[in-house]
Amino acid sequence: MAVSTETMQVFEPATEQVLAELTRASREDADAAIARAKEAFPAWRAVKPGDRAKLLRSLAREIEGSLEELATLETRNVGKPISDARGEVGMVVDVFDYYAGAPERLLGDTIPVAGGIDMTFREPLGVVGLITPWNFPLSIASWKVAPALAAGNTIVLKPAELTPLTAIELEKLALEAGIPEGVLNVVNGPGSVVGERIVEHPDVAKVAFTGSTAVGRRVGELASRSIKRVTLELGGKSANIVFADADLEQAAGAAPLAVFGNAGQDCCARSRILVERSSLEAFLEALERSVTALRVGDPLDEETQMGPLISADQREKVASFVEDGAPVAFRGSAPDGPGYWFPPTVLSPVSNDDRVAREEIFGPVAAVIPFEDEAEAVRIANDTIYGLSGSIWTRDGAKALRVARGLETGTISINSNNSVRVTTPFGGFKQSGMGRELGPHALDYYTELKNVFMAT
């Protein structure tokens, strides 16, 4: 069905070997996928809500039945530990089950007005374009695909060229689940060609983008030309704030995976660790113990906690931050090549003005920044263009809530690292994006609100 005859290779970052060879889609392929989605829209929006719900549940069962294969594919293509990949695919199953509840619960309001009855309806948008990154390929696709389908939209999904394999499997599983052809269309091609075409195309009603702030800005500019609906889930530089009254062992035990999980290639990475100065020494000692104990190696090994980076380019970029000159306090281990390995690295002390504290590194590098008191912690945490997530560690509940309310951040955890749950909203303040994914709020971004008045 592809128009393009160009091919491309997909690599395995732990071995540097070719994992798959695929067709690289062209602008014409994007047009063809959008046309298929447009044609499929009237019938899909007309599917009875209960039947749409059943199809989403059936897709959840297909994914559940392929969990091990999908997790292994994601592990080999991204380099993430197999135990993480399994957890992510498990969450994808939950996402489809959760949004299967939505078609029958897209409620409107009745509003008291003079002379009649006023009602609101949530209408699907039409064809939606979904553009996803390489760090959590299937998870992030599911956060968009499930609510978009539940609301009655049809989809063109463009995965990142580095990691398109699980999105391609998702399209196949959707067909096996009984979702009609043309409703979910995956187009694997370069962002500058296929991505831009999706964003510009007049038949695409909305774009949901997850990726870097730089590309998100470009997507926002292009989308604005046709007043397209757009949601942007972008970069982060989140703070992990450790107060002296926290359980330091617990905070230091959790900090490594809060920043080195997915080898630091996580938009929610708490890559700035803010520590109250009076407990700095004790915290660093505990942190060193947990960082050096991290198991870095073969992502297919059940015991592995951190795998390689996605590519040689990414490793070079990460290394350039460490070469900037902030003192290296300690490092964990990393295997020798082949594979794009980089050891978990802690820099301390760092000033919040240093490049390592200002830019998203997207690798296993943490910057420890001391602070004097609560007000300074909030000021430093907010002194960034980003506002995606963050953590607060303290035994003082009132202080935790005060600080949480003071942070310009979309998702905050207290005495926890967790940023993402199926049932709760996720998204950024400031240049970390606009709009929310997951939870009930995501549905607002895949529907248009219609108001109908009937004179009585």
In this complex, which beta carbon is closest to ligand NAP, that of residue 331 or of residue 436?
Answer: 436
Give the Cα separation of 440 and 106 in Å (integer): 10
Residue 21 CB, shortest distance to ligand NAP, in Å, is 16
133 near ligand NAP, rule: CB under 6 A = yes
In sequence order, which ranges of 178-279 are alpha helices (DSSP H)? 196-200, 213-225, 248-260
Report the residue from 38, 80, 122, 158 that binds ligand NAP according to the rule CB under 6 A: 158
196 near ligand NAP, rule: CB under 6 A = yes
Residue 268: active-site member: no
> Do residues 307 and 299 touch, judged by C-beta distance below 8 A?
yes
**Which among 46-54, 95-103, 190-198, 392-400 is the span making contact with ligand NAP, rule CB under 6 A?**
190-198
**Which among 119-127, 154-162, 166-174, 351-359 is the span making contact with ligand NAP, rule CB under 6 A?**
154-162
Which two structure tokens, joined as six digits, stand for 379?
A: 């000021």
Report the residue from 131, 254, 275, 322 that binds ligand NAP according to the rule CB under 6 A: 131
4 near ligand NAP, rule: CB under 6 A = no
The set of residues, in sequence order, having a beta carbon less than 8 Å from that of 87 and lying 6+ positions away, is none
Q: Binders of ligand NAP: how many residues, by CB under 6 A?
A: 33
> Do residues 55 and 177 touch, judged by C-beta distance below 8 A?
yes
Catalytic residue among 74, 233, 276, 360: 233
The set of residues, in sequence order, having a beta carbon less than 8 Å from that of 11 and lying 6+ positions away, is 17, 18, 19, 162, 311
234 near ligand NAP, rule: CB under 6 A = yes
25 near ligand NAP, rule: CB under 6 A = no
Question: 184 - beta bridge partners?
Answer: 155
Catalytic residue among 267, 268, 276, 437: 267
The sign one gets for the Cα dihedral 376, 381, 385, 387 is: negative
Q: Binding pattern to ligand NAP, positions 367-406, x when CB under 6 A?
A: ---------------------x------------------
Which two structure tokens, joined as six digits, stand for 153?
A: 């939209």
Q: Which residue is nearest to ligand NAP (CB)?
A: 191
In this complex, which beta carbon is closest to ligand NAP, that of residue 186 or of residue 347?
Answer: 186
Which two structure tokens, joined as six digits, stand for 435?
A: 């709009």
219 near ligand NAP, rule: CB under 6 A = yes
In this complex, which beta carbon is closest to ligand NAP, that of residue 391 or of residue 394?
Answer: 391
**Which among 37-45, 81-89, 172-180, 228-236 is the span making contact with ligand NAP, rule CB under 6 A?**
228-236
Residue 310 CB, shortest distance to ligand NAP, in Å, is 8
363 near ligand NAP, rule: CB under 6 A = no
**Coil, strand or helix: which one is 239?**
strand
In this complex, which beta carbon is closest to ligand NAP, that of residue 134 or of residue 283?
Answer: 134
191 near ligand NAP, rule: CB under 6 A = yes
156 near ligand NAP, rule: CB under 6 A = no
> Do residues 140 and 267 touch, judged by C-beta distance below 8 A?
no
Identity at 7, one-letter amino acid code: T
**Coil, strand or helix: which one is 154?**
strand
Residue 6: active-site member: no
DSSP 371-420: ESSHHHHHHHHHSSS--SEEEEE-S-HHHHHHHHHHS--SEEEESS----
Phi then psi for residue 140, to 5 deg, are -70, -35
Strand pairing of 365-371 and 272-276? parallel
424 near ligand NAP, rule: CB under 6 A = no
> Do residues 21 and 7 touch, judged by C-beta distance below 8 A?
yes
Catalytic residue positions, numbered = 233, 267
Task: Please report, as ranges, the residues that interact with ligand NAP according to CB under 6 A.
Answer: 131-136, 140, 158, 160-161, 190-192, 195-196, 199, 210-212, 215, 218-219, 233-236, 267, 360, 362, 388, 428, 432-433
